[in-house]
């Protein structure tokens, strides 16, 4: 009996050890997918990993607050409207690529007014659509876009924050690559991020490059925007502070960015036809190589004496999308670990 008991104990120990080893060697992906979509699925399915949905729109429609929808790798050619959202930061509605796969959504992505607390993460978002509408379009509160690759193959504006359809509030755009947005040749209206009617947006740790007009445009009513730790390179113009006939964009802080190599105009500029904005600060940035110069110090923002330096960041391999900065470069300290300097 003692031998049998000992044998049972040894078997149990071996099983537990094997389980622990398996867990330790398992991939780091620990997200629970409440629903799954796949290019091989059907919207008549239950939305499980074994029986996934077919479209991202159906996945979004089925999600509730606090739930995560995972999109298997592949290309989904559809425009998607996220018709409802989460309830709080702890109860967000999330759509993301499954594990290390990369889902590609080709079509307009729209987060309308009322769809608050929506997160879109680890997706390739190609906003090319028949109507040439901006994508992603955000008219909601507390939307978050993180670790996405965003483009539209030179057909329209990419991100637009707010419009007459709803004011964007507390939008987070973090850790994305935003590129090749806007029709060629320049129409002076197609941008990587168009902060139009917005409060408290945070634009951080992105690489914003090769967009036809502005990398970031603040016009006409962008309030309390934070722009920090971004690489903004080879856009027609880097950042524009601007206002319209009756409104101005105010209280923006642009700090610790690399704003470089504008192809048409200055790296940083302003346009206020009826009186300048107030409390806009451009401080402690690397600003270099604009077609017309680094900073057009006219009106509407303060930059002089605020620690901006005109230094070439010496990006490692721009032609292949590698925006790494050599460690000895004076601009390197502004590139944080969360900035995707290399393609996903």
- Provide block-wise average pLDDT over 10 residues at a time, the chain (344 residues): 42 40 43 95 98 98 98 98 97 97 98 98 98 98 98 97 98 98 95 98 98 98 98 98 93 98 97 91 98 91 96 97 97 96 97
- The rounded distance, in Å, linking the Cα atoms of 315 and 195 is 27
By three-state DSSP, how is residue 111 classified? strand
CB under 8 Å, gap of 24 or more: what pairs does 53-59 form? 56/80, 56/95, 56/103, 56/105, 57/81, 59/35, 59/95
Would 276 be classed as within a structural domain?
Answer: yes
Q: Which residues pair with 307 in a beta bridge?
A: none
Q: Which residues pair with 69 in a beta bridge?
A: 35, 95
Would you state the pLDDT for residue 31?
75
Would 221 be classed as within a structural domain?
Answer: yes
The residue among 237, 313, 317 whose CA lies nearest residue 270 is 237
Strand pairing category for 168-169 and 202-204: unpaired
Q: Report CA 43 to chain centroid distance, whole Å.
A: 28
Would 18 be classed as within a structural domain?
Answer: no
Would 81 be classed as within a structural domain?
Answer: no
Encoded tokens for 239: 């950042």
Would you state the pLDDT for residue 30?
57
The residue with tokens 């944080």 is: 336
Would 57 be classed as within a structural domain?
Answer: no
Domain of 209: which CATH number? 2.160.20.10
Reported as half-sphere exposure (CB side, CA atoms, 13 A), residue 167 has a value of 10
- The rounded distance, in Å, linking the Cα atoms of 243 and 234 is 24
Would 71 be classed as within a structural domain?
Answer: no
Strand pairing category for 109-111 and 80-81: parallel
The residue among 130, 137, 185 whose CA lies nearest residue 157 is 137
Domain count, the chain: 1
- The rounded distance, in Å, linking the Cα atoms of 320 and 237 is 21
DSSP summary character for residue 240:
E
Domain span at residue 257? 107-334
Q: How far is CA 132 from CA 3, 107, 137, 183, 219, in A?
A: 76, 10, 12, 10, 20
Q: With beta carbons less than 8 A apart as the criterion, state whether 161 and 135 touch.
A: no
This prediction's pTM: 0.91
Q: With beta carbons less than 8 A apart as the criterion, state whether 203 and 193 touch.
A: yes
- The rounded distance, in Å, linking the Cα atoms of 6 and 16 is 15
Q: With beta carbons less than 8 A apart as the criterion, state whether 60 and 68 touch.
A: no
């Amino acid at each position: 009996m003692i031998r049998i008991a000992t044998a049972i104990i040894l078997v149990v120990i071996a099983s537990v050890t094997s389980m622990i080893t398996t867990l330790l060697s398992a991939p780091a992906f620990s997200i629970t997918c409440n629903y799954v979509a796949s290019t091989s699925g059907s919207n008549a399915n239950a939305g499980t990993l074994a029986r996934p949905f077919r479209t991202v729109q159906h996945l979004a429609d089925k999600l509730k607050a606090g739930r995560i929808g995972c999109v298997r790798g592949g290309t989904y050619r559809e425009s998607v409207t996220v018709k409802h959202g989460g309830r709080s930061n702890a109860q967000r509605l999330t759509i993301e690529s499954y594990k290390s796969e990369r889902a590609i959504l080709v079509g307009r992505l729209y987060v309308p007014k009322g769809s608050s607390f929506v997160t879109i993460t680890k997706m390739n978002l190609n906003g090319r659509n028949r109507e040439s509408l901006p994508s992603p379009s955000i008219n909601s509160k507390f939307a978050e876009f993180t670790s996405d690759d965003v483009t539209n193959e030179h057909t329209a504006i990419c991100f637009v924050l707010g419009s007459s359809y709803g004011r964007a509030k507390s939008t987070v755009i973090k850790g994305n690559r935003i590129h090749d947005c806007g029709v060629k040749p320049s129409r002076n209206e197609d941008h990587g991020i168009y902060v139009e009617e917005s409060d408290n947006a945070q634009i951080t740790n992105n690489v914003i490059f090769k967009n036809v007009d502005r990398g970031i445009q603040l016009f006409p009513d962008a309030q309390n925007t934070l722009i920090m730790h971004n690489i903004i390179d080879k856009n027609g113009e880097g950042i524009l502070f601007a206002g319209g006939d009756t409104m101005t964009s105010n209280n923006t802080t642009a700090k610790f960015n690399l704003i470089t190599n504008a192809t048409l105009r200055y790296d940083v500029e302003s346009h206020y036809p009826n009186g300048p904005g107030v409390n806009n600060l451009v401080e402690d940035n690397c600003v270099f190589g604009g077609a017309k110069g680094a900073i057009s110090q006219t009106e509407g923002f303060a930059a002089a004496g605020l620690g901006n330096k005109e230094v070439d960041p010496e990006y490692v391999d721009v032609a292949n999308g590698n925006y790494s900065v050599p460690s000895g470069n004076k601009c390197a300290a502004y590139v944080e670990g969360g900035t995707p300097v290399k393609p996903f």
